[in-house]
Amino acid sequence: MFIPEAGDYLKLRQLIKIVLINIYHNKTRSLLTTLGVIVGTATIFLVVAIGNGGEAQVNEQYSRLNVGTVIVMPASRGRVVDPLTENDVHLFMESDNIANAFPVLQGSGDINYDNYTQGSRFMAIYPEFQASNHLTIEQGRELNQEDESRSNRCAVLGAELANTLTDGYASEIVGQSININNRKFEVVGIYSRVGDGGSGMSNDDSAFIPYSTGRKYLLGSRANPIIMAQATGLETVQSALQDIKAVLDETHRMGGAEQFRIMDAGSRLVAAQESARTMSMLLLSVAAIVLVVSGIGIMNVMFVTVKERTKEIGTLKAIGAKKSEILYQFLVEAILISLAGGILGVIIGYSTVPVLEFFELPALPSISGVLIGLIFSVITGVFFGFYPAMKAAELNPIDALSYE
């Protein structure tokens, strides 16, 4: 007795061909069905891009500042009643948790080179500042201890500032003299570009001179410094902060540590990461809701499609289509529709990136974003297409054939 093998199935290529014909026939409906998936996938793609962009930005900030750096500055921007002193610096250094501390003075003024004047920020720094802020020399030399002890009238320029002053020929400025607020300085070097930290004021746009020089010639001995301290390690930052507060409470009896802002790079970055993560979670849940809603849309449309083709399903069963073949056919239809939506979504997401950049939201498109977006679109198709496809597969051939 011969029973035909049940193992012969419609080939996948043929199945996809038939499905594509059906989708093409219903192109308007199929396109409308994909709208939700398009939006959902585009959102997921952007979530990943924004996440990557935020991470890249945070990493860049890490690279610009040592994690153990603590900055102490007056809390109010106005006149400081009780300024930080060099005595504070010495007291900070006494702490076991602090490896190094040095004052920094900031000023702004006109910088003049070769008849060109540019308003800019300048900073009077100790040589240690350069290592703490990851400033490396592009050309010439950095500021050293000798400049500091002799109050040399020399300056090192940020990359951007050097560019602006020389109209693009930065290299020519090394060895030349510039005027800062009408005082002459010799340019001894240019720092490598560090990029915009997003804080607005970048070291790239600043001029750097020795601390003692700054006091002596530009800012005067009564200028109020900020203090940069370096914790001995990442794990001692919190203790270092405690010690700094204790010193400030002790030395500044009028207002104590309260009147100063104490920032440490590590916790600032952690906070930034935290908010980036919150943002991502928010967008991700929006994407999830959009995808669920669009999935329900797909399910709806697939139900209508199954209903419309009931008689065809009956015919297919009569000519020998197996239950699983009907199931696959409708499942593949749902998957292809959602995958098409996913691909369109990724394309639209990709073209939205410049818009985000215009609004200064850092977004970094990536292959992983494309893949995650597409995977989610396919999952939507599988998940919400399965039930209608199952219904189609389970149709009784007689009922299906007599359906009008």
Please identify, among the stretches 48-56, 114-122, 255-263, 312-320, the one whose residues bind another protein according to the rule CB under 8 A.
Answer: 312-320
Q: Quick one: 24 or 358, whose CB is closer to another protein? A: 24
274 CB neighbour count, 10 Å cutoff = 11
Compute the distance between CA of residue 338 and CA of residue 377 in angstroms, rounded to an integer: 6
Indicate the DSSP class of residue 204: G
Select from 16, 18, 67, 364 the one that contacts another protein (CB under 8 A).
18
Select from 325, 348, 352, 364 the one that contacts another protein (CB under 8 A).
325
Please identify, among the stretches 18-26, 174-182, 269-277, 298-306, the one whose residues bind another protein according to the rule CB under 8 A.
Answer: 18-26
Compute the distance between CA of residue 204 and CA of residue 52 in angstroms, rounded to an integer: 24
Give the type of residue at 116. Y
339 is an interface residue for another protein by CB under 8 A: no
Residues 381-400 that bind another protein (CB under 8 A): 397-398
Query: CA–CA distance from 8 to each of 4, 316, 324, 329, 396 (Å)?
Result: 9, 15, 12, 16, 21
Compute the distance between CA of residue 381 and CA of residue 29 in angstroms, rounded to an integer: 15
Q: Quick one: 15 or 283, whose CB is closer to another protein? A: 15
Residues 170 and 163: beta-carbon distance below 8 Å: yes
Which residue, among 273, 367, 357, has the nearest Cα to 60 in the 3D structure?
Answer: 273
Per-residue x/- mask for another protein, residues 56 to 95, rule CB under 8 A? ----------------------------------------
Q: Quick one: 49 or 336, whose CB is closer to another protein? A: 336
210: three-class secondary structure by DSSP: strand
- Nearest approach, Cβ of residue 357 and another protein (Å): 45
Select from 253, 319, 358, 360 the one that contacts another protein (CB under 8 A).
319
Please identify, among the stretches 31-39, 83-91, 130-138, 322-330, the one whose residues bind another protein according to the rule CB under 8 A.
Answer: 322-330
312 is an interface residue for another protein by CB under 8 A: yes
Compute the distance between CA of residue 101 and CA of residue 25 in angstroms, rounded to an integer: 74
Compute the distance between CA of residue 106 and CA of residue 215 in angstroms, rounded to an integer: 10
- Nearest approach, Cβ of residue 288 and another protein (Å): 35
Q: Which residues bind another protein (CB under 8 A)?
A: 1-6, 8-11, 13-14, 18, 21-22, 25, 311-312, 314-325, 397-398, 401
